[in-house]
């Protein structure tokens, strides 16, 4: 089997690649892995260093919007796992053009190439942010899409294009929608690595608004495990939510991070709330649990402690990124 992983040098994609080549997913045992990554600011080939010597890994630096490159890497591919995306909400608010180009046009380019190449499974990795905000309860997969930021709107658009390629052309596409990820190798613009690395350097951390926005936290290893289950057994044309089962306000998360680093609330700097800031996210994971046997395996307390320890022990990885 040959697997194409787009965005495979990013945070989540590189974890999937490392786990695949490390034998974590029996259905992908002995698979050849082709990584396509543009290596933008959030892509880092060093994320693949632990598996760089694997004879089953091929790395291609390229843009998913480049039809020629995409056509070339798609040859002989059985499975596509599509992580590549512009993904930071704040950046999308500052300028949305790159998000529409990469997330929408890039996804269409990949889907067309996969269709032309006869790919047997295409897993499109999306986000719970496409649903908007929910006051109570949890979103099922058939909930209406109400994205509120340019980022989430671009991802919702890519979801619909992926669905259309299944309905119109019969391409075996599955869409996954995850809650907030955390873990090692996450680019330090995201809240957990940003807060941890700031605190390790004795810097204050910025807390949006009243700090009562709620997110469900999902360890990257659980997310990738869910994606592997969908790649193996997910039904074509279906959407699967992947959640972690730990809902916290941003204030509660901040308190846990302060405690983990051993500092007090004086290290928090309140800042003006983000534009269009969704109040609460919560995904219903009944479908993936009942159909594919998924459950989150890493409890948040353990996962967060291990993540903080990883950043404390790996300054050589994140300091150049923050300095840049």
* Active site members: 128-129, 151
Cα gap 303→282, rounded to integer Å = 19
CB 281 within 8 A of CB 323: no
CA distance 4 to 13: 11
Strands (E), the chain: 2-6, 32-37, 57-61, 79-82, 121-127, 173-178, 180-182, 205-208, 214-219, 239-242, 246-249, 268-271
Residue 62, phi then psi, degrees to nearest 5: -175, 170
Q: 287 with 293: CB under 8 angstroms? A: no
Q: Pairing relation of β-strands 173-178 and 121-127? A: parallel
CA 124 distance to own-chain centroid: 11
Q: Name residue, tokens 């006051």.
A: 135
Produce one character per residue of 136-168: b if its CB has 16 or more CB atoms within 10 Å, e if not.
Answer: eebbebebebebbbbbbbbbbbbbebbbebbee
Which phi and psi (to 5°) does residue 33 adopt?
Answer: -120, 125
Helix runs in 82-181, H state only: 89-94, 97-99, 107-117, 150-169
E strand or H helix at 226? helix 220-233
């Amino acid at each position: 089997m040959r697997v194409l992983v787009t965005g495979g040098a990013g945070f989540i994609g590189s974890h999937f690649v490392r786990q695949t080549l490390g034998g974590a997913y029996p259905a992908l045992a002995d698979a050849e892995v082709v990584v396509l990554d543009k290596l933008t600011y959030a892509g880092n080939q060093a994320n693949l260093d632990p598996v760089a010597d694997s004879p089953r890994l091929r790395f291609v630096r390229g843009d998913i919007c480049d039809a020629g490159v995409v056509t070339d890497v798609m040859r002989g591919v059985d499975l596509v796992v599509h992580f590549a995306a512009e993904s930071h909400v704040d950046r999308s608010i500052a300028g949305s053009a790159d998000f529409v180009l990469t997330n929408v046009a890039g996804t269409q380019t990949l889907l067309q190439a996969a269709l032309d190449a006869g790919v047997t499974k295409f897993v499109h990795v999306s986000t719970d942010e496409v649903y908007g905000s929910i006051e109570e309860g949890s979103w099922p997969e058939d909930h209406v899409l109400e994205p509120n930021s340019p980022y989430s709107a671009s991802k919702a658009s890519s979801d619909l294009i992926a669905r259309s390629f299944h309905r119109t052309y019969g391409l075996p596409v599955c869409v996954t929608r995850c809650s907030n990820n955390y873990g090692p190798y996450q680019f330090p613009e995201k809240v957990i690595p940003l807060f941890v690395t700031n605190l390790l350097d004795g810097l204050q951390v910025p807390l949006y608004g009243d700090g009562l926005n709620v997110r469900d936290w999902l360890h990257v290893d659980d997310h990738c495990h869910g994606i592997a289950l969908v790649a193996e057994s997910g039904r074509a044309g279906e959407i699967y939510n992947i959640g972690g089962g730990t809902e916290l306000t941003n204030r509660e998360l901040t308190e846990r991070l302060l405690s983990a680093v051993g500092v007090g609330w004086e290290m928090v700097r309140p800042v003006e709330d983000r534009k269009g800031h969704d109040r609460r996210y919560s995904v219903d994971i009944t479908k993936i649990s009942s159909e594919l046997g998924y459950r989150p395996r890493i409890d948040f307390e353990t996962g967060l402690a291990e993540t903080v320890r990883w950043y404390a022990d790996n300054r050589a990885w994140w300091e150049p990124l923050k300095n840049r």
